[in-house]
Amino acid sequence: MNFKKKVGVGVLTGVMGLSLIGGGTYAAFNDIETVNNSFASGTLDLGVVDGLDDDGKLFSLQNLKPGDTMTRTFELENLGSLAIKEVLLHMEAKNFDKEELADGDIAAMQADADYKGFLDQFQIEVLRVDEDLGEDWEDGKITDERLFYPIQEDDNFTLKDLYESNFEKIQEYDILKDFLVDSDWDEFEGKKLNLAPNRTASDPKTGEDVEWDGLPADRGDTSEVQISIKFVDDDERNDDGYYKQNKYQGNSIDVNFYLEATQWHGIDVGSENGYVDENERANPEDQN
Amino acid sequence: MSIKKKIGLAVITGAMGLTLIGGGTYAAFNDIETVNNSFAAGTLDLTVEAGESSAKGFTLENLKPGDTMTRSFELGNEGSLAIQNVLLHLEKVSFSNEVNDENDFVGSNDAYKEFLKQFAITSFNVEGTSLLTDNISTLGVPACEEGNPQGNPHCEDDEGDNGEGGPGDGNGSDPEPTPSEVFTLYDLYNGEGLGQWVDSTYVFTESDYDGDNPLVDNKDRVDLSALNGLDSQENLNFEIGIKFINDKENRNDDGLYMQNKFQNNSVSLDFVFEATQWPGIDIDSNGYVEDNGVGQQDK
């Protein structure tokens, strides 16, 4: 090794020694970049307002007799930040009970009563859903409103039919079909009636195709639902001359309507960041 | 020796004698040469920019199950040194759980983990190549291919789902994957068993290299530049697609979907990209070390 090379090595060694002293440890080069992300979910919250009593019940009636009718109106409101696609009516019947009757003959008839038979005594004469149509999205004003009657008096549709999802008997079933939804709630089989329709359907009154868009969020308007129930009046008698309906004397049952609000399908939220406004509205991609 | 040379020597000797006398001290021969050296370190500088037609990162509110989102990133090397690894991991910044009446989720220290499990990673591409293993397809999130019999929730929008079965038959026949079956943001955050979802070529295990790294606590990370590194002035496109899993299978006793507990949840998390240098090389010649600006796969 000649002198020049020796000098060179000496200097290198010196520099390395200095780095070691300066750094204290061996330090490699690296660089770290950070991108922040945030994901926040919205809320799906159906409110049932106007029409419920202090106990939160729609119907709470005792001492009824055949021929009685009862009508209730309630409003569906979207209280969340996500649009509601459907409001599915699930019906539960429980706590069927029979009061002991003093009259022996009627008590004997009563033994034959069952809860389905009792439910069949209550005809849903009218189920009316109102839908806001033709809203001006920009200022949120309603420019048109239409009423839809999925169930009408001459359908003879009873609480038993609703309980069993027996919608085929409804005369205008073809129209109604657009408002029936398969529920994936295992406890409730069959199709469920959607009280906040969201499909293109033929309006039964005018025959025109109309758009229904569920319950968008933050619109400040509500959808009204009206239901009229009649304790049917059956004049059939048994061999002893008793009206057959006598067996339902002293019967009682709790009927729960579960209104399930569902979300719209997921969407591609696009490339922009921020609050996903699109999730406040009906998802058009899902409208067939 | 000629007379001329003899005279010459005599003159030189005489002159030296004069010098010695003149200086008054002893002076040896010497010679001084200076060798100048300079060492200039290069720069290692990773940049992360939003990809074309994409915001930088995800900042999304008012999400609902089923929503899908994609972001792309341009990873650039603005430094003079080539980058060997671009290592990605997630760090949680914050989590909030605003309670409302549909939300019975009791917040716990681990609550954000459950929320992160709701976000399936449906695509994970570098330069258009998927880093996900084929494993994913058997775990419920197959690639978006035509005629895929399993169906892919990620692709369902393209296929016009809900096409048959009548209105409202929304969820179709394909069951949604449940969080335990898919690669989620939590798995990326957690860094355990990444090889189950990410091609092992791209899995960077800290303990195989330098040992302890306080940055990631020895979690596995994804090496986005595992193939060729990222040369100086080069770019690499990274794209990640995420789906808010739509779990319609699980309800509680009241019929409410279990996922309702995630309503109004909000999580903030960082994608952290660490760029590392290549190993040192042996440099023979002087000058700007061009070799340090390019990958050194062979070294």
Q: Give residue A19's region: left, alpha or beta (phi > 0; psi -120 to 50).
A: alpha
Q: What is the pLDDT of residues B26-39, one digit of tens each?
A: 668 888 888 888 88
User: Max CA-CA distance within chain B?
Assistant: 128
Query: Are B265 and A41 within 8 A, CB to CB?
Result: yes
Which of A8-12, A125-129, A215-219, B267-271 is modeled with the greatest confidence? Answer: B267-271
User: Please, which residues have CB within 8 angstroms of residue A86's CB and are 6 or more apart in sequence?
Assistant: A181, A194, A196, A197, A198, A214, A260, A261, A262, B168
Chain B's closest residue to A273, CA to CA, is B59
Domain assignment present for B124: yes
* Parent domain of B121: 46-279
pTM assigned to the model: 0.75
Q: State the alpha helices, DSSP H only, in chain B.
A: 3-23, 111-116, 135-138, 156-159, 185-190
Query: Are A15 and B81 within 8 A, CB to CB?
Result: no
Confidence category of residue A26, pLDDT binned at 50, 70, 90: very low
Do the beta carbons of residue B196 and residue B135 sit within 8 Å? yes
Alpha-carbon torsion (A5, A6, A12, A16), positive or negative: positive
Chain B's closest residue to A193, CA to CA, is B168
Nearest-CB residue to B66 (from A32, A43, A266): A266
Residue B270: its chain A contacts at CB < 8 A?
A: 34-37
Do the beta carbons of residue A268 and residue A274 sit within 8 Å? no
Q: Is B264 on the interface with A (CB under 8 A)?
A: yes
Q: Give residue B236's region: left, alpha or beta (phi > 0; psi -120 to 50).
A: beta
**How far is Cα B94 from Cα B104, in angstroms, rounded to an integer?**
20
Residue A30: its chain B contacts at CB < 8 A?
A: 44, 274-277
Domain assignment present for B297: no
Interface probe, candidates B52, B60, B114, chain A, greatest A C-beta count within 10 A: B60
Distance of CA B155 to the CA centre of its chain: 26
Q: Give me the number of domains chain B comprises.
A: 1
- Give the pLDDT score at B151: 38
Q: What is the pLDDT of residues A183-196, one digit of tens each?
A: 878 888 888 888 88
User: What is the value of ipTM here, to two decimals?
Assistant: 0.72
**How far is Cα B171 from Cα B177, in angstroms, rounded to an integer?**
12
What pairs with residue B119 in β-bridges? B244
Domain assignment present for B215: yes
Cβ pairs bridging A and B (under 8 Å)? 220
Confidence category of residue A211, pLDDT binned at 50, 70, 90: low
Do the beta carbons of residue A52 and residue B72 sit within 8 Å? no
Q: What is the pLDDT of residues B247-257, one digit of tens each?
A: 888 888 888 88
DSSP-derived letter for residue A264 is P
Distance from CA of A108 to the nearest CA of B (A): 38
Domain assignment present for B1: no
Residues A150-176, mean pLDDT to the nearest whole number: 85
- Measured in Å, how far apart are chain B's first and last C-alpha atoms? 63
User: Please, which residues have CB within 8 angstroms of residue B85's CB and are 6 or more apart in sequence?
Assistant: B204, B223, B225, B226, B229, B274, B275, B276
Q: Is B170 on the interface with A (CB under 8 A)?
A: yes
Q: What is the dihedral of CA B154, B156, B157, B158, to 10 degrees?
A: 100
Half-sphere exposure of A198 (CA within 13 A, CB side): 28
What the block records as the tokens of B232 is 């100086």
User: How would you write the pLDDT of chain B (299 residues) with one tens digit per residue?
Assistant: 566 666 666 555 555 555 555 555 666 888 888 888 888 889 999 999 988 878 889 999 999 999 999 999 999 999 999 999 999 999 999 998 876 555 455 445 668 899 999 999 999 999 999 998 875 543 344 344 444 334 334 344 433 333 333 333 334 445 555 555 689 999 999 988 888 889 999 999 876 655 567 777 778 899 999 988 999 999 999 999 999 998 888 888 888 888 888 888 899 999 999 999 998 888 888 899 988 999 876 54
